Amino acid sequence: MLLPCASAMAIAYRKKKMDSRFWWPILLAFAMASAGARSQSTDALGFLSIDCGIEPGKSYVDHLTNISYVSDADFIDTGVNHNTSAPYRGDVPTPVLDTLRAFPNGTRNCYTIRSRAVVQGSKYLLRAWFRYGNYDGLLNSQSLAFELHLGVNYWVGVNVTMPNLPYRKEEIIAVATAGYLSVCLVNTGMGTPFISGIELRPLKDSLYPAVNKRRSLLLFHRWNLGTAHGNYVRLLLLLLLLLSLSERFYL
């Protein structure tokens, strides 16, 4: 009486294994198609991601987030491009932090962000990235500080007290008072200002009702609770979907 039962279990196991083999190519094809769709959809949503310091005309897609990045050359005509030092390159969550644009000349240097996504009166999340990475070979010689402005208004002070820190980012939610946005780096006499990346994300007008043409919101802090390593992660919903499907067919 045990033989038929064992045969039935073996058949069921083989069927489950065949089902799994059948579904994995489908899941892989779905992942590849969704990755391409995600890259296209971020552009369609009005996302603008600028890698400061890469060659003019260059663009790429971040393999981790599938977000498209473009050169900053079309948004500013001052400053000098630099790469971070070799020991610091590649140990960051996004390649935008491997390059930067520094501004050794002038007190005020501004990016003028004109895009079809920038509409006067609309709300935006602006994110600025900073990664020193010992690009000038002066590591630990002195701390440096400068100011970041949104247009003519003070945004935040950037104080790199420990030049070997991984990176820093600043965020602001603001209303575009014109058909463009200006992000300015201001030299305060305490070192050369620099910036690694700028990201623009349009927001629905119904979000953050406290924000208007005269009032902006600054990021105070963000916590990532429950993570195993404490690394900064941009969550990919596609990854979660694949994990849930794999558990469904393998467990």
Q: Which CATH number fits the domain that encloses residue 184?
A: 2.60.120.430
Q: Tell me what the mean pLDDT of segment 42-51 comes to.
A: 81
Query: Is 37 a member of any domain?
Result: no
Residue 240: band (very low, low, confident or very high) from pLDDT cuts 50, 70, 90 = very low
Residue 250 confidence (pLDDT) above 70: no
Q: Would you state the structure tokens that stand for residue 31, as one six-digit string?
A: 């992942």
How far apart are alpha carbons 28 and 38 in whole angstroms? 15
How far apart are alpha carbons 60 and 25 in whole angstroms? 27
Query: Is 141 a member of any domain?
Result: yes
Residue 241 confidence (pLDDT) above 80: no
Residue 98 has a pLDDT of 92
How far CA 138 is from CA of 92, 124, 172, 181, 195, in Å, comes to 20, 36, 30, 32, 17
Query: Is 23 a member of any domain?
Result: no
Residue 138 has a pLDDT of 82
- Judging by DSSP bridges, how do beta strands 144-150 and 99-102 pair with one another? unpaired
Residue 37: band (very low, low, confident or very high) from pLDDT cuts 50, 70, 90 = very low
How far apart are alpha carbons 132 and 192 in whole angstroms? 11
Residue 70: band (very low, low, confident or very high) from pLDDT cuts 50, 70, 90 = very high
Which segment, 73-77, 84-88, 161-165, is predicted with the most confidence on average? 73-77
Residue 249 has a pLDDT of 37
Residue 245 confidence (pLDDT) above 50: no
Q: What is the mean pLDDT of the chain?
A: 78
**How many folded domains does the chain comprise?**
1
Residue 173 confidence (pLDDT) above 60: yes
Torsion of CA 17, 22, 23, 26, to 10 degrees: 160
Residue 239 has a pLDDT of 39
Which residue in 170, 189, 197, 29 sits closest to 113, CA to CA? 197
pTM over 0.85? The answer is no
pLDDT greater at residue 218 or residue 241 = 218
Residue 184 has a pLDDT of 99
Which segment, 29-38, 85-94, 193-202, 215-224, is predicted with the most confidence on average? 193-202
Beta-carbon contacts of 7 under 8 Å, excluding residues fewer than 6 positions away, are none
How far apart are alpha carbons 235 and 240 in whole angstroms? 9
Query: Is 71 a member of any domain?
Result: yes
User: Three-state SS for 146?
Assistant: strand
Q: Which domain holds residue 116?
A: 48-218
pLDDT greater at residue 4 or residue 61 = 61
Query: Is 32 a member of any domain?
Result: no
Residue 54 has a pLDDT of 96
pLDDT greater at residue 49 or residue 13 = 49
